[in-house]
């Protein structure tokens, strides 16, 4: 039993994961580039997450690059059987830390093998294709060619499940004609609700929606309404932001990121927080 069980579980691929997980991006150095100042502290966050019951970790080999995957392997390998590590591919980092597309068959294939090696895995449980048509948000356009390459790597047995990230509803539907889409990872939080309809349509299909920037990302959410509700509930604003996501829809899996054990502990305590209807109405106004 874990306190996280208060938020329940949801099917991701063919595994049940607790709905409060952990996003590893904040463990890399500043700007998600290079190593962290204190690698031992980063490993301690990962171990604390598992001790608290987290069994869903989101990562990528382009965090660092390679840094978060290496930290995960150092801290947690051999992995507990119930741990689901989700990675993402289709981007690479420039020498200046910029985020660039990496879409050729060679780059996609290399990315899968790099993830396997750095995470010390024989097969990747879930790989998200991260669209880079526009690095900042979903943009329409065909993803068929790179997705066909990933489907081939899945058929080779290197990947169990494929998901999508930074995509439009149309791209999700197009991909579903090629393979079962295991999850969708787009930006979504209390203040950024452009995917409301997609969250609901995926819920109707039993597909997890995994919001990135659940706390607002590099500039965590700030709002008087959020602070007011947090005060009223005796919780912190970040806990309210997470509890709101968990209450938003049963298919929503939260992966808040942090580099600190104190913030991790605070965030995971949101599993037991219930937001009453009146406070939900106040929070609904934040999205504007
Ligand atoms: N698919 C994509 O394109 C994509 C893009 C971005 C992220 N992601 C994934 O989504 C995960 C979550 O996103 P994220 O980590 O970027 O953003 P996030 O979870 O929304 O927020 C992380 C930020 O909030 C701070 N924070 C965390 N807990 C806090 C607390 N209790 N009180 C105050 N501040 C707190 C963190 O700083 P501290 O370190 O100081 O706690 C960090 O600055 C990532 O880790 C990554 O795995 C995916």
Q: Does the CB atom of residue 125 touch ligand 1 within 6 A?
A: no
Task: Answer yes or no: is 195 within a domain.
Answer: yes
First to last CA, the chain: 39
Active-site residue list? 63
Task: Answer yes or no: is 38 within a domain.
Answer: yes
Task: Answer yes or no: is 165 within a domain.
Answer: yes
Q: What's the CA gap between 154 and 148, in Å, rounded? A: 10
Q: Does the CB atom of residue 266 touch ligand 1 within 6 A?
A: yes
Q: Does the CB atom of residue 29 touch ligand 1 within 6 A?
A: no
Compute the distance from residue 182 Cα to the ligand 1 centre, in Å: 22
Q: Which residues are CB-neighbours of 166 under 8 A, at least 6 positions away?
A: 130, 131, 132, 134, 137, 138, 185, 186, 187
Supply the angle between the helices 237-248 and 277-284 in degrees, to the nearest 10: 100
What single string gives the DSSP state of each residue in 243-276? Answer: HHHHHH-TTB-B--B-S-HHHHHHHHGGGG----
Task: Answer yes or no: is 235 within a domain.
Answer: no
Task: Answer yes or no: is 237 within a domain.
Answer: no
Task: Answer yes or no: is 33 within a domain.
Answer: yes
| CATH code of the domain in which 103 resides | 3.20.20.100
Task: Answer yes or no: is 89 within a domain.
Answer: yes
Q: Does the CB atom of residue 26 touch ligand 1 within 6 A?
A: yes
Residue from 165, 258, 261, 266 whose mutation best tests the ligand 1 pocket (most atoms within 8 A of CB): 258
Cα 79 to Cα 152, 199, 209, 246: the distances in Å are 26, 30, 24, 26
Note down the domain range covering 42. 3-220+248-258
What single string gives the DSSP state of each residue in 13-76? Answer: TTEEEESB-EE-GGGSSGGGBS--S-HHHHHHHHHHHHHTT--EEE--TTTBTTHHHHHHHHHH
Q: Does the CB atom of residue 131 touch ligand 1 within 6 A?
A: no
Q: What's the CA gap between 107 and 218, in Å, rounded? A: 28
Cα 173 to Cα 152, 170, 178, 202: the distances in Å are 19, 5, 9, 10
- pLDDT per residue as tens, the chain (288 positions): 899 999 999 999 999 999 999 999 999 999 999 999 999 999 999 999 999 999 999 999 999 999 999 999 999 999 999 999 999 999 999 999 999 999 999 999 999 999 999 999 999 999 999 999 999 999 999 999 999 999 999 999 999 999 999 999 999 999 999 999 999 999 999 999 999 999 999 999 999 999 999 999 999 999 999 999 999 999 999 999 999 999 999 999 999 999 999 999 999 999 999 999 999 999 999 996
Atom of ligand 1 nearest to the CA of 24: 45
DSSP structure class, residue 164: E
Task: Answer yes or no: is 32 within a domain.
Answer: yes
Residue from 59, 71, 220 whose mutation best tests the ligand 1 pocket (most atoms within 8 A of CB): 220
Q: Does the CB atom of residue 211 touch ligand 1 within 6 A?
A: no
CB-CB neighbours of 94 under 10 Å: 9
State the total domains in the chain.
Answer: 1
């Amino acid at each position: 039993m874990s306190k996280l069980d208060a938020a329940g579980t949801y099917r991701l691929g063919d595994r049940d994961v607790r709905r409060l997980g952990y996003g590893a991006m904040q463990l890399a150095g500043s700007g998600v580039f290079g190593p962290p100042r204190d690698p031992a502290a980063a490993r301690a966050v990962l171990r604390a997450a598992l001790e608290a019951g987290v069994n869903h970790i989101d990562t990528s080999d382009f965090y660092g690059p390679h840094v978060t995957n290496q930290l995960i392997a150092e801290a947690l390998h051999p992995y507990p059987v119930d741990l689901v590590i989700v990675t993402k591919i289709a981007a690479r980092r420039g020498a200046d830390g910029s985020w660039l597309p990496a879409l050729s068959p060679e780059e996609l294939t290399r990315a899968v093998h790099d993830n396997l090696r750095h995470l010390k895995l024989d097969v990747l449980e879930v790989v998200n294709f991260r669209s880079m048509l526009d690095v900042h948000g979903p943009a329409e356009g065909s993803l068929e060619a790179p997705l066909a390459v990933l489907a081939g790597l899945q058929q080779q047995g290197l990947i169990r499940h494929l998901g999508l990230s930074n995509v439009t509803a149309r791209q999700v539907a197009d991909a579903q004609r090629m393979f079962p889409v295991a999850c969708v990872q787009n930006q979504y939080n209390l203040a950024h609700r452009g995917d409301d309809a997609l969250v609901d349509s995926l819920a109707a299909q039993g597909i997890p929606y995994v919001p990135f920037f659940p706390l607002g990302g590099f500039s965590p959410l700030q709002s008087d309404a959020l602070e007011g509700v947090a005060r009223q509930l005796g919780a912190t604003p970040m806990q309210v932001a997470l509890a709101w996501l968990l209450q938003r829809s049963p298919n929503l899996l939260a992966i808040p990121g942090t580099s600190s054990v104190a913030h991790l502990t605070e965030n995971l305590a949101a599993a037991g927080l219930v937001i009453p209807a009146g406070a939900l109405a106040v929070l609904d106004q934040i999205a504007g």
